[in-house]
A = this chain, B = another copy of it.
Amino acid sequence: MNELEKLTEQIIKFRNERDWQQFHNSKDVAISLVLEASELMEHFQWKSANEVAAYVEENKEAISEELADIFYWVLLLSHDLGVDIKSAFLAKMEKNSNKYPVDKSKGTHKKYNELHND
Protein backbone atom coordinates (compact mmCIF):
# COMPACT_ATOMS: atom_id res chain seq x y z
CA MET A 1 0.00 0.00 0.00
CA ASN A 2 1.50 3.36 -0.95
CA GLU A 3 1.55 6.37 1.36
CA LEU A 4 -1.49 8.08 -0.12
CA GLU A 5 -3.47 4.87 0.23
CA LYS A 6 -2.41 4.70 3.87
CA LEU A 7 -3.51 8.27 4.58
CA THR A 8 -6.79 7.57 2.79
CA GLU A 9 -7.29 4.46 4.89
CA GLN A 10 -6.87 6.60 7.98
CA ILE A 11 -9.63 8.95 6.79
CA ILE A 12 -12.00 6.09 6.01
CA LYS A 13 -11.32 4.45 9.37
CA PHE A 14 -12.09 7.77 11.12
CA ARG A 15 -15.32 8.05 9.13
CA ASN A 16 -16.42 4.47 9.68
CA GLU A 17 -15.88 4.66 13.43
CA ARG A 18 -18.32 7.61 13.47
CA ASP A 19 -20.72 6.08 10.94
CA TRP A 20 -20.47 9.24 8.85
CA GLN A 21 -20.41 7.74 5.35
CA GLN A 22 -24.18 8.18 5.19
CA PHE A 23 -23.67 11.98 5.09
CA HIS A 24 -20.91 12.02 2.50
CA ASN A 25 -22.65 12.18 -0.84
CA SER A 26 -20.18 13.36 -3.48
CA LYS A 27 -22.01 16.56 -4.34
CA ASP A 28 -21.78 17.89 -0.79
CA VAL A 29 -18.19 16.74 -0.48
CA ALA A 30 -17.35 18.67 -3.66
CA ILE A 31 -19.03 21.69 -2.04
CA SER A 32 -16.72 21.18 0.97
CA LEU A 33 -13.72 21.38 -1.32
CA VAL A 34 -14.89 24.75 -2.67
CA LEU A 35 -15.63 26.04 0.82
CA GLU A 36 -12.23 25.03 2.18
CA ALA A 37 -10.43 26.45 -0.85
CA SER A 38 -12.35 29.71 -0.37
CA GLU A 39 -11.33 29.86 3.28
CA LEU A 40 -7.71 29.42 2.26
CA MET A 41 -8.00 32.14 -0.40
CA GLU A 42 -9.51 34.53 2.13
CA HIS A 43 -6.17 34.60 3.96
CA PHE A 44 -4.61 36.30 0.94
CA GLN A 45 -7.36 38.83 0.24
CA TRP A 46 -6.74 42.59 0.55
CA LYS A 47 -2.98 41.97 0.77
CA SER A 48 -0.07 42.85 -1.49
CA ALA A 49 2.67 40.26 -2.18
CA ASN A 50 4.80 41.79 0.60
CA GLU A 51 1.96 41.77 3.07
CA VAL A 52 1.22 38.14 2.18
CA ALA A 53 4.76 37.08 3.08
CA ALA A 54 4.60 38.65 6.55
CA TYR A 55 1.08 37.39 7.11
CA VAL A 56 1.94 33.80 6.19
CA GLU A 57 4.87 33.84 8.61
CA GLU A 58 2.57 34.83 11.46
CA ASN A 59 -0.32 32.58 10.50
CA LYS A 60 1.50 29.45 9.40
CA GLU A 61 -0.57 27.13 11.55
CA ALA A 62 -3.98 28.40 10.42
CA ILE A 63 -2.91 28.21 6.78
CA SER A 64 -1.47 24.71 7.26
CA GLU A 65 -4.85 23.63 8.59
CA GLU A 66 -6.68 24.99 5.56
CA LEU A 67 -4.29 23.13 3.26
CA ALA A 68 -4.77 19.97 5.33
CA ASP A 69 -8.56 20.34 5.04
CA ILE A 70 -8.41 20.54 1.26
CA PHE A 71 -5.98 17.61 1.13
CA TYR A 72 -8.34 15.63 3.36
CA TRP A 73 -11.36 16.16 1.10
CA VAL A 74 -9.37 15.38 -2.03
CA LEU A 75 -8.35 12.00 -0.61
CA LEU A 76 -11.85 11.26 0.69
CA LEU A 77 -13.63 12.20 -2.53
CA SER A 78 -11.08 10.32 -4.66
CA HIS A 79 -11.75 7.25 -2.53
CA ASP A 80 -15.52 7.57 -2.80
CA LEU A 81 -15.41 8.04 -6.56
CA GLY A 82 -13.00 5.14 -7.10
CA VAL A 83 -10.20 7.42 -8.28
CA ASP A 84 -6.57 6.42 -7.57
CA ILE A 85 -5.30 9.93 -6.84
CA LYS A 86 -1.62 9.05 -7.26
CA SER A 87 -2.21 7.58 -10.72
CA ALA A 88 -4.46 10.50 -11.63
CA PHE A 89 -1.75 12.93 -10.55
CA LEU A 90 1.00 11.13 -12.50
CA ALA A 91 -1.21 10.98 -15.61
CA LYS A 92 -1.85 14.71 -15.32
CA MET A 93 1.87 15.48 -14.97
CA GLU A 94 2.53 13.40 -18.09
CA LYS A 95 -0.22 15.28 -19.95
CA ASN A 96 1.14 18.64 -18.82
CA SER A 97 4.65 17.71 -19.96
CA ASN A 98 3.27 17.08 -23.43
CA LYS A 99 1.10 20.19 -23.43
CA TYR A 100 3.90 22.47 -22.26
CA PRO A 101 7.19 21.30 -23.81
CA VAL A 102 10.14 23.02 -22.15
CA ASP A 103 11.45 24.67 -25.31
CA LYS A 104 8.09 26.30 -26.11
CA SER A 105 6.95 27.26 -22.63
CA LYS A 106 10.10 28.35 -20.80
CA GLY A 107 9.56 31.69 -19.10
CA THR A 108 6.21 32.29 -20.76
CA HIS A 109 2.78 31.85 -19.26
CA LYS A 110 0.85 31.46 -22.45
CA LYS A 111 -1.84 28.86 -22.45
CA TYR A 112 -1.38 25.54 -24.17
CA ASN A 113 -3.53 26.37 -27.19
CA GLU A 114 -1.79 29.68 -27.73
CA LEU A 115 1.58 27.94 -27.56
CA HIS A 116 0.55 25.49 -30.24
CA ASN A 117 -0.88 28.22 -32.43
CA ASP A 118 2.51 29.93 -32.67
The residues of B that contact A78 with a CB separation of less than 8 Å are 67
| Interface range for A | 35 or more
The residues of B that contact A4 with a CB separation of less than 8 Å are 3-4
Q: Which parts of A52-75 form the interface with B (CB within 8 Å)?
A: 52, 56, 60, 63-65, 67-72, 74
Number of copies of chain A assembled together: 4
Q: Which parts of A63-97 form the interface with B (CB within 8 Å)?
A: 63-65, 67-72, 74, 77-78, 81-83, 85-86, 88-89, 91-93, 95-97
When chains A and B are docked, how far (Å) is the Cα of A91 from the Cα of B86?
22
A41's partner among B31, B82, B93 (CB-CB below 8 A) is B31
Q: 13 extra interchain contacts, Cβ-Cβ under 8 A, other than A31-B31, A70-B74?
A: A25-B52, A30-B40, A31-B42, A33-B41, A34-B41, A35-B42, A63-B83, A67-B78, A68-B92, A71-B74, A71-B88, A72-B89, A72-B93
